[in-house]
Structure 1
Amino acid sequence: MDRFAALNAFIVVVEHGGFAPAARRLGQAPSSLTRQLNALEESLGTLLMNRSTRSVTLTEAGQQYYEEARRILEDLVNADRAVSELSGPPSGLIKVTMPMAFGRLHVAPALPAFLRQYPQIRLDLHLNDAVTNLVEDRLDIAIRLGALSSSNLLARKLAPHRRIICASPDYLGKHGTPGEPGDLARHNCLLFDYQTTEHSWTLARDGKRMKVAVTGNLRANNSEVLREAAIGGAGLILMPTWLVGADIAAGRLTPLLENWTPSPGAEEGAIWAVYQPNRRGSRKVASFLDFLSQHFGSRPYWEIKQN
């Protein structure tokens, strides 16, 4: 029995839900996969899966074996990749996930230049505002904004992440300009409603923090919707400079309460690339992160014209 082929067949059968789809994926006959799985179970002395005419289900032993077998094969693939990357230009597939608005505004425009510079690299991008599991989704890199939760992932800072309160000149001309945090309660604040129902803005200065309950007539779980509404004069927004920096530079939006820092502030404060420890030596991953870091700049281009 070819142990590697048997392990791979087992994993593909599990992940494709049956022998027929797995056989199509591997370009083999279902009977060949059945023989490999039978030989694997016989060598282990235990039943790994329950078979029916329609599907397969894992036994308790099969579930444990699947998790270990998948890890072993991934380690082997990573080892092969690490050795192959020692010579020649970076190459291969990079799977990356990132927040939708940030990816569209600041990563997508840079992709043609990256692909010209590294023609042997292929990119598979997933724009998604949910926090994904790199291991389960078999991703190489996740770009995340703000504070990172504790994990065993490695993190590299690509750029600062700073938020600011702003509004259009038209809105401020009609409703006045807030001079201190408490004034926010009297303004129409457009609210980002993604995974939260609490609507308060906290600002800090000289060790002092003020939490202000804010209300408004528009809530959205998409930051670009709120940006467009603010430019149109609908109210105040609290948004990252990577989203509104160009609008402030062009005069479409005016920054407010600049002596106060929205909290969490500097401590939350970065656009991160996170990746698994086994990607540490990957030249293709390093090339992509180096490129993005240089593209954004030590002081990000979206803040160059900020005070």
Structure 2
Amino acid sequence: MDTLTSMKVFVAVVETGSFAAASDRLDMSRAMTSKYVAHLEEHLGTRLLQRTTRKLTLTESGSTYYERCVQILADISEAEEGALHLNETPRGTLRLTVPVSFGILHMGPVISNYMKQYPDVKVDILVADRRVDLLEEGLDLAIRIGSLPESGLVARKFASDRVVICGSPEYLQRHGTPRTPAELAQHNCLTYSYAATGDEWKMDGPDGHHTVKVSGSLRATNGDIVKLAALGGVGLMRQPLFLCGEELRQGKLVEVLPEYKASDMGLYAVYPSRKHLSAKVRTFVDFIAAAFNLKSDW
């Protein structure tokens, strides 16, 4: 029999003073009430109640155990109420992971605004470009960019972006501007380690699909490092507009092969399950969706 239920029945018997009254309070048969208390005594290996024809009295062990049961049941009730309250009002610590460049450039202000609106939520952020296991690392949510592998996780798309190939005016003046995808193989191409296609740059143009194997003097696990090298005239890079859109507008970088386009990449909020979704996760995902509103022009 269930020990927790047995504890509840025992407390009810003590508080009402009889098995019959406890049965009425619990809406349980008297026989079942007696069985639960007997189960508890057998489980503990001690008598908890002295039974006479006129009244019930607690043994010394029963008195001590009763006090502990009252406290335990009160703690459980408080925990259940707290969990219910957490599911209604955003509070507690939201643990999430965001990619480095996107997190710094675009998520920082959104997270700050969220925290202003929901001051009872604390935010713990893991900033990393590597693919983090949410369950293994105890995280509530991840911001992920690009194609998503089959994982059983829930993904909500909140924006999309375009990948461009670009370089500094200095680099293009010294090395020339590629006119066809095949010419990229002759250039110093700066690569991002976590790119889904590795060192193969794929694109579609007016003459069909192209896959070019590129190489260069820099490979990095962070897009900002790649961008700084491109701005310094080291080589060409292939990065999303959210990272380099401002530099393109200012003329610090120049897009090459604009008629050849890579597939757009999605930006997603990813979390383990829709079931029993906490208020902090639900409101944060909604907040991101509203903030970016399927943004595609970076």
Alignment match, 2:286: 290
- Max radius of gyration: which structure? 2
Q: Where do residues 116-265 of structure 1 align in structure 2 (5 Å cutoff)? A: 116-194=116-194, 199-205=199-205, 208-262=208-262, 265=263
Summarize the Cα distance change of 1:86–1:274 in structure 2 as closer, same or farther, 3 Å threshold.
closer
Aligned length: 227
Equivalent residues of 1:145, 1:161 under 8 A apart: no
State whether structure 2 residue 85 is matched by structure 1 residue 84.
yes
1:249 and 1:197 map into 2 onto residues whose CA distance is 27
Contact map agreement 2:144 2:270 (CA 8 A) in 1: yes
Over 3 Å counting, the alpha-carbon distance change for 1:205 and 1:118 in structure 2 is same
**Deviation (angstroms), 1:2:** 7.4
Task: Decide whether the 8 Å contact of 1:85 with 1:91 is kept in 2.
Answer: yes
Distance 1:223 1:151, change over 3 A: same
Distance in 2, Cα, partners of 1:169 & 1:223: 19
Normalization by structure 2: what TM-score?
Answer: 0.67
Query: Following superposition of structure 1 onto structure 2, how do residues 44-83 of structure 1 map, counting pairs within 5 Å?
Result: 83=84
CA deviation profile, 1:161-201 (whole Å, cap 9, x unmatched): 32110111121122221121112112111122348895221
Once the 2 structures are TM-superposed, how far is the Cα of residue 238 of structure 1 from its aligned partner?
0.5
CA-based RMSD of the aligned residues comes to 3.1
Which blocks of at least 5 consecutive residues in structure 1 are unaligned?
5-42, 44-77
Q: SS state of the match for residue 261, structure 1?
A: coil
TM-score (norm: length of structure 1): 0.65
The CA deviation at 1:272 is: 0.8
Q: Read off the aligned partner of 1:274 and give its amino acid letter.
A: V
The one-letter code matched in structure 2 to 1:184 is L
Structure 1 stretches of 4+ moved >6 Å: 1-4, 78-82
SS in 1 for 2:244: helix
Sort the Cα spacing of 1:133 and 1:197 in 2 relative to 1 into closer, same or farther, 3 A: closer
Q: 1:258 to 1:117 in 2, by over 3 A?
A: same
In the TM superposition, what whole-angstrom CA distance separates every residue of 1:61-120 from its partner, at most 9, and x where no partner exists?
xxxxxxxxxxxxxxxxx9867732565x42222111122222122112333222111111
Identity of aligned residues (%): 36
Deviations along 1:202-243, whole A, 9 cap, x unmatched? Answer: 212368221112222222222111100101111100011111
